[in-house]
Amino acid sequence: MTLTVHAAPASRARPDVEMSVDLAGMALPNPITTASGCAAAGRELAQFFDVASIGAVVTKSIMVGPRSGRPTPRMAETPSGMLNSIGLQGPGIDAFLEHDLPWLASRGARAVVSIAGGTVEDYAKLAAKLRGAPALAGIEANISCPNVEDRGQVFACNASAAATVIQAVRRAAPTGVPVFAKLSPDVTDIVAIARAVVDAGADGLSMINTLLGMVIDTTTMRPVLGGLTGGLSGPAIRPVAVRCIWQVHQALPEIPIIGMGGVRTGLDALELALAGASAISIGTVVFNDPTAPLRILHELEDALAARGIERFVDAVGLGHRAPEPRPRAYPDPPGSDADTVQADTVQADTAQAGTHQADIGRLDPAAEEST
């Protein structure tokens, strides 16, 4: 992996686009945040840009006690992405509150603290510990963890278990601090999980988490990762993120979504916003370009200005608008040569579509059964 550090852009007037957002009462100056797990608590990025200049720093998921994580190797590059098997290594909540949040507060940054646990009680303890914490803007409940009380089943993959965690976090969390449930794409119906956690008290959603994946070294003929499986992130998962965000926003349009998954550019961020994301988290790309959060913020501003959009919030969910009719620029009278050409074209397109459908039927057993 090559490290790319972009030079600070030459001083120039920024586009006059209003970028501020309000996510269930969490007011941010712009919609760009870090993604949990990719920049710890922000210290590593501070040497490249002012961490207070982005909307918020979403911290690495923190647990009740110190955790050493999974065995090495822990990372593997894949086409258009990477697998990580870190295992939520961290110092524990007490050390985090003593060292990391005060540092973020000293930099004027806003923190969304990501919490993770093996039991519902763990999540409740962590949320309660955050009462009175400095710089705290929001809480992200990372429910993509094994439930040790239920045969290791992942909380996020079961609507009832996910709802139980969020209900406990909401009850224990500081009053007025929004709680965001982080959803996994490794489910059959992500909308059902989203409804369950919102009904349980989630103020918003973070999505998507990584997809479970695996790599085998064909030379050693053994799994590459010490923990066998890992979370797939990077550009390869962006279409999955767009689909999940689209589906959930369509079902729950009033619920703010912090979207993430393979964002590398301002146009990638805009794509997630058009699907329904109210804010955008930047993750894997920072391993290659640690200036990416600020760069993407500026690229997103430019993209909005180029499209005549004066406020970021006006782009959120804009992809869901009804299709606009496309009248011909120069209508021709019925019976004209152009009208005849258009009719011939429609007939040709219809014939081609029929041939294409027949091909699909031959290639796809499911399609064949349905015809």
Q: Give 311's DSSP letter.
A: B
Structure tokens at 81: 């992405």
Do 110 and 135 touch, CB atoms closer than 8 A?
yes
What H or E segment, with its residue span, contains residue 357? helix 337-363
Q: Count of H helices and E strands in the chain?
A: 11, 18
3-state helix, strand, coil in the chain (%, to 5): 40, 20, 45
Catalytic residue among 38, 145, 157, 244: 145
- Concatenated DSSP letters of 51-116: GGGSSBEEPPPB-SS-B--SPSP-EEEETTEEEE-----B--HHHIIIIIHHHHHHTT--EEEEE-
Structure tokens at 59: 């911290």
Active site residue 38: no
Query: What b/e sequence results for 192-215 when a residue is b if at least 16 CB atoms lie within 10 Å of its CB, and e otherwise?
Result: ebbbbbbebbbbbbbbbbbbebbb
Burial class from Cβ neighbours inside 10 Å (0-12, 13-18, 19+) for residue 321 reads exposed
Active site residues: 145
